[in-house]
Amino acid sequence: MPHFFSNKRLIILMVSIILLVAVIGFSTREREELTLPEQFVRDAVGVGQNVFQQPANMINGVVDTIRDIRYVYEENQVLKDRLDEYAMVASERDTLKQENATLQEMADAEESLGDYVTRPALVIHRSPDQWTETIGINKGSQDGIESGMAVITPEGLIGQIDRTSQFSSTVQLLSDGDPSNRVSAMVHTEDDPVYAFVEGWDEEREGLLLRKIESEAEVEEGQLVSTSGLGGVFPRGLTVGEIQEVGPDEYGLTQDALIKPVADFYNIEHVRVIEREAQNLDEQLLDEVEIDDEEDEEEIEEVPLEEGAGDP
Amino acid sequence: MRYLPFLIVFTLFLIEGTWYQMVVPHPLENGWMLIPRFTIVTLIICAIFRGPVLGMFYGLSIGLLYDFIYTDVLGIYMFSAAFTGYLFAFKLPQVQRSFVWILIVSMLGFSVFESLVYVLHLSIGTIHLSGEVFFYHRLLPSLGLNALLAMLLIYPMRKLMRYLKLREQSRDEAV
């Protein structure tokens, strides 16, 4: 590095370090939207990534198909057995659906937190070093994607939309360690559901952390965890995973649990972005109702927190 | 033709984020993370032949892409890549002639880049990974992977660089 240690160069180095700090400072503050150049670069590179990803997906699909062919016979046997079961479940579901509809009509419930529309999208990139657990998808704000929407694979929830640009957006996976990355969730127990938050990934035990569970709640291994729909734009009832371990948190006031996610975070190709309908049914009504709604939601959300904190 | 090296670097950048992610599972079963830094390795090889200024500009633009596309925080990759591109541009005939030297320099550059990114991420608090885990589970395995790639790329890249230089010289003479 003979060319490096001269005065002029040291000054340039200093200036660039100062610039670095300034740029980091600018970008780490809470930003609502990406700046225009950022959006442009993301979209432009997104086109290239799309071109790369499409044939790769096709080849991957062919390889998978060939692999699957070997198991077709066994699978067929199992599926035949389950077909009878399916008919029964389907008829049961229809009755339940009807019943639910009538009950909802009776209760005058116009909208449910469980209603949503989905938009399919293709994964176009993933950060190579995975310091941040984000993936890029090929749908953006032009397709109606907004920041905060839930993203699922057929198995279950994988994350939420982090940033959108015009034709692409990034998804923050549930496994991302960012402290702002939390999802309001509920545990299906035999009685009422227990509400808590999914907060990040436990590196050592390899699972999602479910925190702020009320200390009296009877949460056990094997129970299902899904989104509660209370914390903003997520709909209710998207499966997150299964409880693996339960224990008191570091202060002993609430309980923590380890969730084994149902979705695979590593081989993601196709995802669905979910938009809850409950919020945008009536645009005009919304203005009046919004304030009340928000207050309600916050109250519900904070209940487990406060009760937990109040415990001796 | 002059921009061919940059096109190669850019293509490798795209591959890192797309094809590579589909082929190699993350992390491996023993907890290793194989981080592809094909762009950085190639960038340093280019810089060895074409000097620090080019290294810096390649670093700036590739780092900018990393920043814009993969992270919300701007500046980390841009600074690290430009810094490494500039610092490891050993434009010396001894280095250019020897396969081993190019390999060593590019691997040094890779390690410095990766560590710099790690330290910067750590200092602004986006990650919480101990230095030991970083070193044994990320840096060393990735070093192996990138060394492998560098071995594959050094010969063709050197050929390309020499060809470009020859072209330039002959054009200068013609003028």
- Summarize pLDDT for B49-81 with one digit per residue, the tens: 988 888 889 999 999 888 888 887 888 898 899
* Cross-chain Cβ contact B68/A41 below 8 Å: yes
Q: How confident is the model at residue B107 (pLDDT cuts 50, 70, 90)?
A: very high
Q: Is there a single domain that holds both residue A92 and residue A180?
A: no
Q: What is the pLDDT along chain A (312 residues), one digit of tens a residue?
A: 555 556 787 888 888 888 888 888 887 777 767 788 888 888 888 888 888 888 888 888 888 888 888 888 888 888 888 888 888 888 899 999 888 888 877 776 666 666 788 888 988 888 877 777 788 898 888 888 888 888 988 888 888 888 888 888 888 888 877 777 788 888 888 778 888 888 878 777 778 888 888 877 788 888 888 888 787 678 888 888 888 888 888 787 888 888 888 888 877 888 889 887 765 444 444 454 444 444 444 444 444 444 444 444
Domain assignment present for residue A27? The answer is no
Q: CA quadruple B149, A132, B74, A43: dihedral positive or negative?
A: positive
* ipTM given for this complex: 0.77
- Of B18, B41, B66, B126, which to mutate for an interface test with A (greatest number of A Cβ within 10 Å)? B18
A131 vs B19, B86, B126: nearest CB: B126
- Tell me how far apart the alpha carbons of residues B103 and B45 are, in angstroms, rounded to a whole number: 9
Nearest residue of chain B to residue A27 (CA atoms): B73
Which residues of chain A neighbour B124 with C-beta distances below 8 Å?
24, 28
* Cβ atoms A224, A189 nearer than 8 A: no
Out of B14, B71, B78, closest to residue A49 by CB = B14
| In the predicted structure, residue B110 carries a pLDDT above the cut 90 | yes
In a domain, A170, yes or no: yes
Contact A132, A217 (CB under 8 A): no
- Residue A201, in any domain of the structure: yes
Please give the residue of chain B at the shortest CA–CA distance from A57. Answer: B22
Shortest Cα distance, chain B CAs vs residue A202, angstroms: 11
The CA-atom distances, in angstroms, between A160 and each of A136, A184, A226, A287 are 11, 12, 14, 25
CB contact under 8 A, B75 and A53: no
- In angstroms, the CA A13 to CA A15 distance is 5
Is residue A290 in a domain?
A: no
pLDDT at residue B43 is higher than 50: yes
| CB-CB under 8 Å, A24 with B76 | yes
Indicate the residue of B52, B78, B127 with minimum beta-carbon distance to A131.
B127
pLDDT at position A162 is 86
Using a CB–CB cut-off of 8 Å, the residues of A that contact B are 1, 3-4, 16-17, 19-20, 23-24, 26-28, 31, 37-38, 41-42, 45, 48-49, 52-53, 56-57, 60, 124-132, 134, 136, 162-163, 177-178, 203, 266-267, 269
Same-domain check for residues A253 and A310: yes
Both A227 and A306 in one domain: the answer is yes
Residues A124 and A240 in one domain: yes
* Domain containing residue A303: CATH number: 2.40.10.350
Residues A96 and A172 placed together within one structural domain of the fold: no
CB contact under 8 A, B19 and A132: no
- Residue pair B142/B113 in contact (Cβ under 8 Å)? The answer is no
Number of domains composing chain A: 2
In a domain, A25, yes or no: no
Domain residues for the domain of A48 are: 36-107
pLDDT of residue A111: 62
Q: Is residue A72 part of a domain?
A: yes
**Candidate from A24, A37, A162 with C-beta closest to B75:** A24
Do residue A157 and residue A76 come from a single domain? Answer: no
Task: Say how far apart CA A190 and CA B57 lie, in whole Å.
Answer: 62
Binned at pLDDT 50, 70 and 90, residue B108 comes out as very high
Domains, chain B, in order of start with CATH, read 4-170 (1.10.1760)
